[in-house]
Amino acid sequence: MKSFSRHRHRQARRGMVLMEVIVALTIFAMVAVSLVVALNSALDVAKERNQIEVAMQGLGNQMALLRGSHVVMVDKDLPDDGSGVLYHITVQSEQAQDELKRPVPNLYRATITANWKANGKPEDRSLSVLLYQP
C-alpha cells in the first residue's frame, strides 16, 4: 500500500511540474509579446520624430538660403531635395510703419512650408519670418 501511494505521489508531482512549466512559458510569452509591441511603438515614434527633424532642418536650410539671396516676391514650390519633404515658399511685401507713421520700404514676410507623409497621413510644418533688405 505504501508503494502505491508513493507512486501516485510521484505522478501527481510530475503533473504539477508540467503545469508549472506551462504557466511559466505562458507568462514568458506574454512578456515577450508585450516587449515586441512596446519596441514597435517606440520605433514608430522615433521614425516620426526623425521625419519632423528632417523637415525642420530643411526649413532652416531653405530660410538660410533665402536670407543669403536677394529677396523677391514669390509663391512657388521648391525643387525636391531628395528627403521626401516638399517645400513651398511664399514671399510677400509687408506693410509696416515707423514711429513717425511713415511706411517702411523693403520689408517682406517670408513663409516656408514643409509637407510630407507620416504613416500614410499628411503632415506639415511652417516657418515665417520678417526680412528687411535695404
- For residue range 63-110, what is the model confidence (pLDDT) as tens digits? 999 988 888 899 999 988 888 899 999 999 988 888 888 988 889 999
Q: State the chain's mean pLDDT as an integer.
A: 88
pTM of the model: 0.70
**Which residues constitute the domain of residue 36?**
2-132
Binned at pLDDT 50, 70 and 90, residue 13 comes out as low
Q: How far apart are CA 134 and CA 132, in angstroms?
A: 6
**For the chain, how many structural domains are there in total?**
1
For residue 115, what is the enclosing H or E element?
A: strand 107-118
Q: How confident is the model at residue 7 (pLDDT cuts 50, 70, 90)?
A: low
What is the rounded distance in angstroms from the CA atom of residue 51 to the CA atom of residue 45?
Answer: 10
Q: How far apart are CA 31 and CA 103, in angstroms?
A: 68
- The residue-averaged pLDDT of 111-134 equals 91
